[in-house]
Amino acid sequence: MIAFVLRRVLGLAATLAAASLVVFVVLEVLPGDPALVMLGTEAQPQTLALLRAEMGLDQPAPQRYLAWVAGLVRGDLGLSYTYRVPVGELVVQRLAVTLPLTVLAISLSTALAIPLGVFAAARHRRWGDSAIMAFAQMGMAIPNFWLALLLVLVFAVQLGWFSAGGFPGWSDSPGAAFKALVLPAIALALPQAAILARVTRSAVLDMMGEDFVRTARAKGLSRDAALWRHALRNALIPVLTIMGLQFSFLLAGAVIVENVFYLPGLGRLVFQAVSQRDLIVVKNVVLLLAATVVIVNFIVDLLYAAVDPRLRTGR
């Protein structure tokens, strides 16, 4: 188990080093000068040069790359061009929205999807299965931003139960902050739940055809008991894979839903930073996301190993 973890940690470090280089190079070739974006149509050559020097953009690229990596190692992410505050501070503020939102959305979608998926598998080819799968099909077809708009129209504009968007902050009133995340979490969770329910159903059905389930049935277990005790546990591997992907996706991929609810989340930070060429924010956040994806995959691998002992020895 220790060798397994060590191998994975080394791979993780190498991936991050490669990612930092790719992120830097991509941003180098991206057209658009951060200083020019700040000054806009009022830019004059002299002020442009001053601003570039202040932002360190007059240095050669290899030097800037090394300075960035050195800063990362020290834990210093630099100062945002546009907000003039440390990038680390910005990221922490945004994570205070994005992480709870992601966790809420994933919990909701899991709580919905796994029971529904298993139920559908248990009722295979009966009307319960067809009904659930029809809903799942619909859930997958509905874009989350459209669902978000619909939720705003019904629950904020018509009924007035929720705000149409925004985020009051945890320190002022935790209750209001949680409430502000409810509609966005639903908008994110439903399409995810639809996918997860389908995956759960087909994974359980696959397992039901396996030899060990047949053996369990032969021992005299009922179909349902075999499903709950044997098939489900083994079906969790593909389900965990999808959940890992969904978690990583939600961290930055929630940007469209964040826009509809004007939530100050991580996705919108990156989106805005790209359009304003706040490159220092972009490169740090992108790298951070890459690191998160790698780490989430790592955790998923560990969970696999926990669920399936055969994977621990790498055989």
DSSP string, 137-186: HHHHHS-HHHHHHHHIIIIIIIS-SS-SS----TTT-HHHHHHHHHHHHH
Q: How far is the CB of 148 from another protein (least distance, A)?
A: 10
Q: Exposure pattern of 138-153 as b/e (b: 16+ CB <10 Å)?
A: ebbeeebeebbeebbe
Residue in 2, 29, 42, 75 binding another protein, rule: CB under 8 A: 42
Give the nearer residue to another protein in terms of CB position, either 2 or 159. 159
Stretch that binds another protein, among 4-12, 56-64, 84-92, 239-247 (CB under 8 A): 84-92
Does residue 241 interact with another protein by CB under 8 A? Answer: no
Residue in 59, 82, 202, 292 binding another protein, rule: CB under 8 A: 82
Measured CA to CA in angstroms, residue 242 lies from 24, 109, 296 at distances of 29, 12, 11
Does residue 153 interact with another protein by CB under 8 A? Answer: yes
Contact at 8 Å (CB) between 267 and 254? yes
Q: How far is the CB of 106 from another protein (least distance, A)?
A: 22
Of 30, 55, 88, 53, which is closest to residue 274 (Cα–Cα)?
30
Give the nearer residue to another protein in terms of CB position, either 11 or 143. 143
- Please tell me the distance from the alpha carbon of residue 248 to that of residue 292, in angstroms, as a whole number: 7
Does residue 303 interact with another protein by CB under 8 A? Answer: no
Does residue 24 interact with another protein by CB under 8 A? Answer: no
Percent helix, strand, coil in the chain, to 5, is 80, 0, 20
Phi, psi dihedrals of residue 40, rounded to the nearest 5°: 60, -145
Give the nearer residue to another protein in terms of CB position, either 125 or 158. 158
Does residue 51 interact with another protein by CB under 8 A? Answer: yes
Residue in 16, 19, 27, 43 binding another protein, rule: CB under 8 A: 43
Measured CA to CA in angstroms, residue 301 lies from 1, 110, 196, 240 at distances of 12, 19, 18, 9
Contact at 8 Å (CB) between 68 and 79? no
Give the nearer residue to another protein in terms of CB position, either 97 or 226. 97
Does residue 212 interact with another protein by CB under 8 A? Answer: no
Q: How far is the CB of 241 from another protein (least distance, A)?
A: 32
Stretch that binds another protein, among 100-108, 153-161, 219-227, 291-299 (CB under 8 A): 153-161
Contacts of 293 (CB under 8 A, 6+ apart): 248
Measure CA 127 to chain center.
34
At residue 301, the 3 state secondary structure works out as helix
x/- track of binding to another protein for residues 104-143 (CB under 8 A): ----------------------------------------
Q: How far is the CB of 187 from another protein (least distance, A)?
A: 13
Q: How far is the CB of 35 from another protein (least distance, A)?
A: 10
- Please tell me the distance from the alpha carbon of residue 119 to that of residue 201, in angstroms, as a whole number: 8
Q: Contact residues for another protein (CB under 8 A)?
A: 31-33, 36-44, 47, 50-51, 54, 81-85, 90, 93-94, 149, 152-153, 156-157, 160, 163-167, 169, 259-265, 268-269, 272, 275-278
